[in-house]
Structure 1
Amino acid sequence: MLKNFSFILTIVLFFFTKAYASEIYDSSEKCDSFIIVISPINDTVKVLWKEKSIFPNPPKTFTAGDNYFKGLKQFTLNCPDRFISYDGNILKIKSDDYLEKTRNLLNGNIDISYSYYYDYPNIKEGYHSNKLIFDLHSYEIKNSPSVSSELSGKIIGTKIDDSELLPLIYDSKIYDHKTDMRTADVIEIFSKTEAIWEKIYIKKSDGVIELHKKFQFPDRK
């Protein structure tokens, strides 16, 4: 009985330790390429990147973040000109140039919500997906491919340079704040309804974008 209990406890501690373990990567050289892979279906976040190499040696490729075999969710990635960390809730991206580097690490946009369906769900044929996107270049909410289904029931607000809480999506309508967002330093977006990220935080002067999976929707003030 005690042997069985000890075995079970060992297994539980093993997976608990892996779930809260953290990978730390420091690079003395500028990292050549980053790909941030965010999967809302699998609820995973990871980063793929390469470091500079000298011909004819093959480039070194690395992966940090969610990994089924490693069981790791948390990671910190340091390069001389950029920083990425993820603690299972907050993904933080920072560089020395918001316009040219930080926002481009996310391919210039942030997915707000995502849904999918099959024409024939029993055999998973006829796949379709819809998502709302916040464009980091135009500061507009965009859709791919059909926005109407994704807008229904959504309550999303924004604060611009510490303004009062303003509607961004409400009553199936998108509110236009792109002019103010383009000139602002700090942009915050909050989702009261189901979303991939409940808070998006941008501070251009610090080259920072933070994406929060969980965050308390603020009061309007």
Structure 2
Amino acid sequence: MSGHGFHVHGPHDHELEHAQQGGHGAGHGEHGGMINQIALFTAIIATVGALFGYMGGATQANAGLYKNNAAIKKTEASNQWNYFQSKSTKQSLAELARDLAPEDKKAFYQGKIDRYEKEKNDIKLVADKLEAEATAWDEQSDAQMHQHHRWAQSTTVLQVSIALAAIALLTKKKWLEVAMFVAGGAGLLVGVLAALHI
């Protein structure tokens, strides 16, 4: 533009003016409503998807923690069973010694046998309790992993919904907008199933 009011339009200027006119007109027309609707929907779905993604990560971390607790309890139970086995071996040796010992020593070895039997019973109770705890931790871990998979499925479907929203904005196709809403609804439904542990 010169000081005399002379203005030369370049191709870029023309496109900008056309976009401003089209953008202003679209704001009041069918496409403007579609754009606003898709933009709002995308913002909501992205926020919900972020929350679901966080929940998916949390449940995966819990599953790992619970699996670790199960492994610790299994190791403790295994140690108890090893201890039980050592007492059984000592009891067997005491029984052999009792059978080979002279009469005046048999009562001594029988006392050891009785003591080993009681100790074995106590050890077995502890080992069984630890195995039950390990099983409970394993079940909790499996439940958390199932929930994690639900959160991951939900997040994936919500991401597909956002991708459909972007394509719907670019192509202005009504069926893509419908598909976006369907995918978003499906993602939210799977998220509800995850929250309900289903």
Q: TM-score range by the shorter chain?
A: under 0.3
TM-score by length of 1: 0.19
- Which structure features the higher share of helix residues? 2
- Which structure features the higher share of strand residues? 1
TM-score by length of 2: 0.20
Relative CO higher for 1 or 2, CA cutoff 8 Å, sep ≥ 6?
A: 2
